[in-house]
Structure 1
Amino acid sequence: MTPLESHRVNGARPAQERPARAAGPGQGRREIVLAGLPSQVSRARALVTAALGRDDPLHDDCLLLTSELATNAVLHSRSGAGGSFTVAVRSSDELVRVYVADAGSDGPPCVCRTGAGATTGRGLPLVDALSHRWGFARSDGSTTVWFELLREEGKP
């Protein structure tokens, strides 16, 4: 098992986008480290589009869930207090896996059920509802939340 599969991961570090290893959208890996600012959530979404392409059947769900995790990193972790967060997208013929690693917080991520009038608290329930599987790891002061979306058999 890799560290991420066992829910143990490292934190973010300042860097720049690392291009996909495979040519073209839909395959390989892309990763970017972003400043912990609300304006950077759109860059996390742009990374998903660059990694998958807009025509990928998983694009829209992946975009939504990545946006939720990136927003959580900015709002609910030390990333939003002058830190950074990392977004990585890995795509294969079988699945798409996205990781968002932040600078950590006082408590673990919470799949809290909110009331109808609440204006926050729906991000992780969305991840739980739309992903094949997801999880998080806390290690060395950072938190990484990841999700997987499965591709339909026989389709790219």
Structure 2
Amino acid sequence: MAPPDLHRVERVGGGDEPEPGDLVVRLPGIPSQVSRARGVVTAALGRDHPLYDDVVLLTSELATNAILHTRSGAGGSFTVTVTCSEAVVRVFVSDGGADGPPCVCRTSAQSTSGRGLPLIEALSHRWGFTRAAGTTTVWFELLQARVPAGVAV
């Protein structure tokens, strides 16, 4: 299997888009690549980052959704972008698009799937999606909490 297409990109525009120095990886739309998407987070943040566990979990959910619910899983690919600053971590997962927009569907307690976007909604500080030119990009951000000096934790 070919290595992932790994590179840094320059900012293309404003708003909720990738920024300079982002880590961007294009992966084949097959289930084994979900673990490689988690590896992108490790490469970008390192395991000691305070938001690492949440970012890995949410990235895994978005990568799984890209494979299961979009054209990426039908022989296509998806792209994972991770950006980090002192204040925020953002992850973008761009896929091959689907017939409808992403759905934060509520599932029953017995359901074995359907919890990805509700997890994103519950754990992220902000999230959203864009649909353009046959692709869908779902993104989330987590804020790094600052504790003032002298405050007991």
Aligned to 1:54: 47
Alignment of 1:6-155 (within 5 A): 16-19=5-8, 28-153=21-146
Aligned partner of residue 18 in structure 1, secondary structure? strand
Q: Is there any run of 5+ residues in structure 1 with no aligned partner, and where?
A: 1-14, 22-27
- Cα RMSD (Å): 1.9
Q: TM-score, normalised by structure 2?
A: 0.85
Query: TM-score, length-normalised on structure 1?
Result: 0.83
Structure 1: 4+ residue segments shifted above 3 A: none
Please tell me whether the aligned partners of residues 44 and 70 of structure 1 are also in contact (alpha carbons under 8 angstroms). Answer: yes
Give the number of aligned pairs.
136
- Find the aligned partners of 2:133 and 2:50 in 1 and give their Cα distance: 36
Q: Percent identity?
A: 65
2:7 match: secondary structure: coil
* 1:68 alignment partner AA: E
| Distance in structure 2 (CA, Å) of the matches to 1:44 and 1:126 | 17
| Unpaired runs of at least 5, structure 2 | 11-20, 149-153
Specify the alignment match of 2:17 in structure 1: none
CA distance in 2 between counterparts of 1:116 and 1:126 reads: 14
Tell me the residue number matched to 2:16: none
